[in-house]
Chain A
Amino acid sequence: MFKLVLKYTKQFKWAAIIAPVLVALEVLFEVSIPRTMTVIIDEGINGAGGVNMDIIYQAGWKMVMYSFAAMLLGAASGILAAMASSGFIRNLRLALYEKIQNFSFANMDKFEVPSLVTRMTKDMRELRMAYLAIIRMLIRAPFQLITSTIMVFTLNAQLGKIFLVAIPVLAIGLYLISHFAHPMFRVLMRKFDRMNASLEENFVGIRVVKTFVRENFEKKKFEDSSLSVRKQQRMAESLVILNNPFFSFVTYACMIAVSWFGGNFIIAGNMTMGEFMSYLSYLRSILFGLMMVSFALMQIIFAQASVDRANEVLNEKIDIEDKGTDPELVPEDGSVEFRNVSFKYTADAHKYALENINLTIKSGEMVGIIGSTGSSKTTLVQLLPRLYDVTEGEVLVGGHDVREYRLDNLRKSVSMVLQKNVLFSGTIEENLKWGDQNATHEEVVEAARCAQAHDFITSFPKGYETDLGQGGVNVSGGQKQRLCIARALLKKPDIIIMDDSTSAVDTETDKKIRTALRERLAGMTTIIIAQRISSIMDADKIVVMNEGKIEDIGTHDELMGRNMVYHDLYETQLKGVSQ
């Protein structure tokens, strides 16, 4: 926690430093007030020279002034603390987001999106609370504790001994309670997580639940997990609720002890009435201060989980480093070469996803990749824009190893339409311009025409200004795919990769897209992964993949002649048409 605080307070440093200083001053004034009270009683009322109204008024004024000063200081430190804490969170949140932006695909795969969102919102809220607790409570309370204790000892050292017993007792008690409660709360959090996960699962799969008429089964399941949350909650609470009675017990015990000993001192003439009364006032300050420290510590302990979760993101090692040093180095053309490439997703995976791949693609070629589920087609093409790095061997694009380029140069030249497409809220034009921020409207239209999207876009009442809604909910699956192709084309890349990007587009339109790519963008290398054989049969080169290896490379005619799997696929998909 403290490391994070030091690192991310940055421009709010002054606020973070001044706030506790002001708090300390505030406490000094506050602590002086009961002390001044003593003067009123002992010198004003019971004074040696009889009643002295002047002293009373003077002391009264002093107390009011002290209160005012404390009030101003307290308010100022509150404002500074608000600035420091909110600023700290801003910096930390930005750092998290920037870090995530630099995540590679492999890093992204490790974290789930909802968990990342929680880290940036709910966890931040926890951290802000803990941060406030640190710069206000954790300074204030011990300071209050110490100054009050000093006051108590200067008033009457013998009576002060009561606190030497009370403070450790209270401290140990509070420590024990939180020590045993903390693990219980951790378990509770886990149970909450589990309950929420099962809820989410239910909502996502509600159609399945309804289809199989499993509503009651699900209710029972939820009741069980809710009940286990409840049980854990009660167990954890049963400890925490000891805090308050225990604190009261110590306070009351001290009050009785102070009354007994103090009373005796007064009777014996060793203590004045005024001292006795301010003693009672300090008693609350001291014990209350201790209570506050324990609260603040507890908050920090609770926040530790959030700190860990933030650190997990911040310390995640980004496995694709942008090491390209020459900003001028850009791929010369759209040629591609895989040299003895092997790849596995994680270092400890038993199986290679790709094994010993050798493949050369000339600039401007149209290449089709086909193969069964799990044959690593997608994995293969993801190596080109360095979404993942090879484990062994090397991948060359435009004559250089992909790792020599700066990432933005490489990705500008290699455009990819992902299998699982995402569009963002905003208009169609805004979405297409992801490909190129500075594209003119004409260029956008040209790309849309190429992707056979122009016609349906203009059929919308608002045309290119149509709002897509989050995730592109306002267009159909096939339309979405075509928009994504247009977006990728707008980049004017040397290489375009389409990973099953036309699966929802009808065959006729699919063909039109390929024709447009061939005719209008002749120099561009096109790599198409497809399920439908018709999407790739006219390619210059077809790669047949099987279980992470290239099984065969050839043209349609060659493969029909010699590759059984390919032949089979063709037969099943196109049989009966020629009749």
Chain B
Amino acid sequence: MSESNYREIRRSRANDIPATVKRIFRYLAQYRWLLVIVFFCIIIEALTNVASSYFFTPLINDYILPLAGQKDPDLSGFIGQLVKMGCIYMCGITAAYIYRRIMSIVTTGTLHNMRLDLFSHMQDMPVQFYDTHTHGELMNFYTNDIDAIRPLIGDTLPQMINTIISLVGSMTMMIILSPRLTLITMTLLVLVTSVSVFVGKRSRKYFVKVMRTVSDINGYVEEMLLGQKEVKVFSHEKESVKAFSKFNDETMEASIKSNMFAQSLMPINVNLSYISYAVVAVLGAKACIEGSLELGALASFLLYTRQIAGPVSGLSQQFNGVMMSIAGAERMFEVMDTPTEVDEGKIELVNAMNEEGILVECSQRTGTFAWKDPATGDLTELKGDIRLNDVTFSYVPDKVVLRDVSLYAKPGQKIAFVGSTGAGKTTITNLINRFYDVQEGVITYDGIPVNNIKKSSLRKSLGMVLQDTNLFSGTVMDNIRYGNLEATDEECIAAAKLANADSFINRLPDGYDTMLTANGANLSQGQRQLLNIARAAVSNPPVLILDEATSSIDTHTERVIEKGMDKLMQGRTVFVIAHRLSTVRNSNAIMVLEHGQIVERGDHDDLLRQKGRYYKLYTGAAELD
């Protein structure tokens, strides 16, 4: 097992904090009026807090102390003061409730909007983006990064406003009450803050380490569990636990260190505030004796001393979280800034009908389609003629995958690609549907360069059955209908019959209404492929690309569905990629690819006569006779 980290460590620091924060605020902007209300409510709440402690000064000085010892004291002023306090408190409580209610709308709404924007953007990203990011990485944006923004907007932001106002308010009151004592409290407050900042800095180092070790564990566990069957077969359990233990212990070390700081910060801050409380009490008492301070003022002052320490240390504790949230938001925005699939194609696919030999555009489905150039209004009938002229392509510079590939497929022809893994078979189909764009040469569809066709129109005219069978949560029927959202139930069932999927679907507990979960985990690989074929059949495209579409269907079943497949392919241009040569034998032309070049071409009999690469491949199995 290599010692290297399993996953590229995610950046835990933001690069451009102001820009990211600005962008978060742009999301908040649509709630600006609500936020104004929130802002006022927070001010009211904070001021109430400040006032609540101040009230004791007049209460004690004006209403309690003067009355002390009197036989029949006049309590009306006292009661009045208490009622006043009660009213103000109620205002504060109401304001606090209102702003929390509104913030809930704002945060959930903002997160929803961010998720949608991110998802929409991702849907429009080129396939290349998905090829270069693991699913885990993509999921992380939603499960971690967006979630991390939540406390930033919902908790930290209001608390920051609250703290600032409370601090300024309390400080003002304290200065009014006693400037000298304020100086002492201030000194201790600075101490509290610097302790928090110091501890925060120390713990951040370990905090980052915790994140890294946890992501290591994550990577290790994922890799091992995906290969758990291998671990069993090779009795590798002990080694696997040993390696895991190492990662686990590292995580513990880092976690202990980072938590040590975080956990001891709170009691330190609280007690520092008690020390300041004690100092203020002694000096305040002295001032009272000297007559420069009233007892009521001291009471209020002591309450303030306790009150201001809390929010300051609270805010400083949130610092790490805030930094992480911003880093997460930045990562997310980075994705949103990556350019989406470019689509400079203008030519669209439209419904058309043939009126006395002339092609006319129409709105209803006629089964006839045409390419329409919106600039000139010219219509070209969709036939399914595809040509590649001297196409050269590479995924990464200097590593040519296809070199000078030329071929043609006339409407209704079946063209097969044969060759070893990595020869470039799938790449050709990726270029035809423009998952990737050619670097040299040109691909035409009914004579139109594919780059001039709108991607959505192009892909609608191509049916693909891919090597990986991906199904979606939903019923079997939903999955077949994915090929054509307008298809009726009957059309879907007909397509399933064509793909020979009807019989196994009927044997499922709820037939066509059976729910498929987790990419159709309850189906065998072969059954999933049959559903994939049905899905392509229902989309009824003029051109069909079958990329190892029947690889997991055994030859026996393949023969059974052959008729259906023949019917499916009838009248369509078909590209077939298959490992099994029996699948491609009846093609109009077979292209043998080797290292990105077509080394042989011809029909089955031609190629056998050539006694070249295809002959060798084919007879490699046969020479045992």
Tell me which residues across on chain B come within 8 A of A132, comparing CB atoms.
Answer: 259, 263
A68: contacting residue among B219, B275, B459, CB under 8 A = B275
Considering the chains assembled together, what is the distance between the CA atoms of A26 and B266 in angstroms?
Answer: 12
Q: Are B64 and A266 in contact (CB under 8 A)?
A: yes
Contact of A504 with B622 at beta-carbon distance under 8 Å, contacts A60-B282, A213-B459, A248-B96 already known: no
Q: Which residue of A lies closest to B558 (CB)?
A: A572
Q: Are B288 and A45 in contact (CB under 8 A)?
A: yes
**Interchain nearest-CB distance for B82 vs A (Å):** 6
Asked if B28 is an interface residue, CB under 8 A from chain A, the answer is no
Within 8 A of B (CB), among A437-492: 437, 467, 470-471, 476-478, 487-488, 491
Tell me which residues across on chain B come within 8 A of A64, comparing CB atoms.
Answer: 275, 278-279
Q: Are A94 and B279 in contact (CB under 8 A)?
A: no
Q: Are B267 and A77 in contact (CB under 8 A)?
A: yes
Contact of A577 with B621 at beta-carbon distance under 8 Å, contacts A201-B473, A426-B2 already known: yes
Q: Are B483 and A108 in contact (CB under 8 A)?
A: no
Where chain B touches its partner, the secondary structure class is helix
A574: contacting residue among B73, B281, B622, CB under 8 A = B622
Tell me which residues across on chain B come within 8 A of A128, comparing CB atoms.
Answer: 255
**Interchain nearest-CB distance for B475 vs A (Å):** 14
A506: contacting residue among B235, B268, B455, B617, CB under 8 A = B617
B139, B251, B274, B535 pick with most chain A CB within 10 angstroms: B274
Asked if A181 is an interface residue, CB under 8 A from chain B, the answer is no
B92, B231, B255 pick with most chain A CB within 10 angstroms: B255
- Of A253-261, A296-304, A327-335, A519-527, the one contacting chain B is A253-261
**Interchain nearest-CB distance for A171 vs B (Å):** 19
Q: Are B112 and A226 in contact (CB under 8 A)?
A: yes
- Of A149-157, A237-245, A336-344, A358-366, the one contacting chain B is A237-245
Q: Which residue of A lies closest to B129 (CB)?
A: A206
Contact of A578 with B221 at beta-carbon distance under 8 Å, contacts A67-B275, A101-B237 already known: no
| A56-B285, A83-B260 given; 8 more Cβ-contact pairs under 8 Å | A63-B277, A112-B518, A197-B518, A201-B472, A212-B483, A226-B112, A248-B93, A434-B230
Sample (5) of A-B pairs whose CB atoms are under 8 Å apart: A67-B271, A104-B232, A255-B89, A420-B229, A508-B617
Contact of A71 with B271 at beta-carbon distance under 8 Å, contacts A56-B286, A82-B263 already known: yes
Contact of A508 with B620 at beta-carbon distance under 8 Å, contacts A56-B286, A568-B556, A569-B555 already known: yes
B223, B267, B433, B473 pick with most chain A CB within 10 angstroms: B267
Mark contacts of A223-242 with chain B using CB atoms, 8 A cut-off: 1 yes-contact digit, 0 otherwise: 10011011001100110011
Considering the chains assembled together, what is the distance between the CA atoms of A169 and B282 in angstroms?
Answer: 36
B69, B123, B483 pick with most chain A CB within 10 angstroms: B123
Interface residues on A, range: 35 or more
Tell me which residues across on chain B come within 8 A of A40, comparing CB atoms.
Answer: 281-282, 285
A78: contacting residue among B94, B108, B266, CB under 8 A = B266
Considering the chains assembled together, what is the distance between the CA atoms of A75 and B96 in angstroms?
Answer: 33
A70, A78, A98 pick with most chain B CB within 10 angstroms: A78
Asked if B244 is an interface residue, CB under 8 A from chain A, the answer is yes
Q: Which residue of B lies closest to A437 (CB)?
A: B239
Q: Are B299 and A280 in contact (CB under 8 A)?
A: yes
Considering the chains assembled together, what is the distance between the CA atoms of A266 and B73 in angstroms?
Answer: 12
Q: Which residue of B lies closest to A112 (CB)?
A: B518
Asked if A113 is an interface residue, CB under 8 A from chain B, the answer is yes
Q: Are B101 and A241 in contact (CB under 8 A)?
A: yes
- Of A1-9, A85-93, A396-404, the one contacting chain B is A85-93
Within 8 A of B (CB), among A374-410: 374, 385, 387, 407-408
**Interchain nearest-CB distance for A573 vs B (Å):** 5
Contact of A120 with B217 at beta-carbon distance under 8 Å, contacts A60-B279, A241-B101 already known: yes
Q: Are B108 and A385 in contact (CB under 8 A)?
A: no
Asked if A315 is an interface residue, CB under 8 A from chain B, the answer is no
Asked if B302 is an interface residue, CB under 8 A from chain A, the answer is yes
Tell me which residues across on chain A come within 8 A of B252, comparing CB atoms.
Answer: 86-87, 89-90
Q: Are A373 and B552 in contact (CB under 8 A)?
A: yes
Tell me which residues across on chain A come within 8 A of B435, comparing CB atoms.
Answer: 207, 210
Tell me which residues across on chain A come within 8 A of B323, comparing CB atoms.
Answer: none
Within 8 A of B (CB), among A76-120: 76-79, 81-83, 85-87, 89-90, 93-94, 97-98, 100-105, 108, 112-114, 116-117, 120
Tell me which residues across on chain A come within 8 A of B245, comparing CB atoms.
Answer: 94
Asked if B105 is an interface residue, CB under 8 A from chain A, the answer is yes
A56, A102, A407, A412 pick with most chain B CB within 10 angstroms: A56
Q: Which residue of B lies closest to A136 (CB)?
A: B263
Considering the chains assembled together, what is the distance between the CA atoms of A275 and B248 in angstroms?
Answer: 53
Asked if B439 is an interface residue, CB under 8 A from chain A, the answer is no
Asked if B366 is an interface residue, CB under 8 A from chain A, the answer is no
Q: Are A53 and B268 in contact (CB under 8 A)?
A: no
Considering the chains assembled together, what is the distance between the CA atoms of A112 and B522 in angstroms?
Answer: 13
Within 8 A of A (CB), among B61-82: 63-65, 67-70, 73, 75, 78-79, 82
Asked if A368 is an interface residue, CB under 8 A from chain B, the answer is no
**Interchain nearest-CB distance for B8 vs A (Å):** 11
Tell me which residues across on chain B come within 8 A of A506, comparing CB atoms.
Answer: 420, 617, 620
B421: contacting residue among A276, A470, A476, CB under 8 A = A476
Considering the chains assembled together, what is the distance between the CA atoms of A508 and B615 in angstroms?
Answer: 12
A59, A128, A208 pick with most chain B CB within 10 angstroms: A208
**Interchain nearest-CB distance for A493 vs B (Å):** 10
Considering the chains assembled together, what is the distance between the CA atoms of A373 and B142 in angstroms?
Answer: 38
A74: contacting residue among B75, B237, B268, B470, CB under 8 A = B268
Considering the chains assembled together, what is the distance between the CA atoms of A66 and B558 in angstroms?
Answer: 84
Tell me which residues across on chain A come within 8 A of B519, comparing CB atoms.
Answer: 201, 204-205
Tally of contacts, chain A with chain B, CB under 8 A: 443
Q: Are A78 and B263 in contact (CB under 8 A)?
A: yes
Considering the chains assembled together, what is the distance between the CA atoms of A101 and B139 in angstroms?
Answer: 26
**Interchain nearest-CB distance for A439 vs B (Å):** 12
Tell me which residues across on chain A come within 8 A of B398, comparing CB atoms.
Answer: none
Mark contacts of A193-229 with chain B using CB atoms, 8 A cut-off: 1 yes-contact digit, 0 otherwise: 0011111111111111111111101110011001101
Q: Are B143 and A534 in contact (CB under 8 A)?
A: no
Asked if B407 is an interface residue, CB under 8 A from chain A, the answer is no
Mark contacts of B562-593 with chain A using CB atoms, 8 A cut-off: 1 yes-contact digit, 0 otherwise: 00000000000000000110100100000000
Rank and list the top 4 A-B pairs by shortest CB-CB distance, nearest first: A74-B267, A205-B470, A78-B263, A60-B282
Contact of A241 with B100 at beta-carbon distance under 8 Å, contacts A60-B281, A207-B470, A387-B229 already known: yes
**Interchain nearest-CB distance for A30 vs B (Å):** 7
Tell me which residues across on chain A come within 8 A of B421, comparing CB atoms.
Answer: 476-478, 504
Within 8 A of A (CB), among B111-166: 111-112, 115-116, 119-120, 123-124, 127, 130, 135, 138-139, 142-143
A424: contacting residue among B227, B232, B524, CB under 8 A = B227
Q: Are B73 and A572 in contact (CB under 8 A)?
A: no
Considering the chains assembled together, what is the distance between the CA atoms of A79 and B255 in angstroms?
Answer: 11
Q: Are A213 and B96 in contact (CB under 8 A)?
A: no
Q: Are A267 and B604 in contact (CB under 8 A)?
A: no
Mark contacts of B185-221 with chain A using CB atoms, 8 A cut-off: 1 yes-contact digit, 0 otherwise: 0000000000000000000000000000010011101
Considering the chains assembled together, what is the distance between the CA atoms of A420 and B559 in angstroms?
Answer: 25
Tell me which residues across on chain A come within 8 A of B115, comparing CB atoms.
Answer: 222, 226
Q: Are A277 and B302 in contact (CB under 8 A)?
A: yes
Q: Are A579 and B285 in contact (CB under 8 A)?
A: no
Asked if A249 is an interface residue, CB under 8 A from chain B, the answer is yes
**Interchain nearest-CB distance for B85 vs A (Å):** 6
Considering the chains assembled together, what is the distance between the CA atoms of A217 and B483 in angstroms?
Answer: 12
Q: Are B104 and A117 in contact (CB under 8 A)?
A: no
Asked if B427 is an interface residue, CB under 8 A from chain A, the answer is no
B470: contacting residue among A204, A222, A430, A538, CB under 8 A = A204
Q: Are A538 and B624 in contact (CB under 8 A)?
A: yes
Considering the chains assembled together, what is the distance between the CA atoms of A101 and B220 in angstroms?
Answer: 13
Contact of A121 with B92 at beta-carbon distance under 8 Å, contacts A57-B282, A89-B252, A90-B252 already known: no
Within 8 A of A (CB), among B463-483: 463-464, 466, 468, 470-473, 482-483
**Interchain nearest-CB distance for B229 vs A (Å):** 6
**Interchain nearest-CB distance for A244 vs B (Å):** 6
Q: Are A434 and B236 in contact (CB under 8 A)?
A: yes
Q: Are B68 and A266 in contact (CB under 8 A)?
A: yes
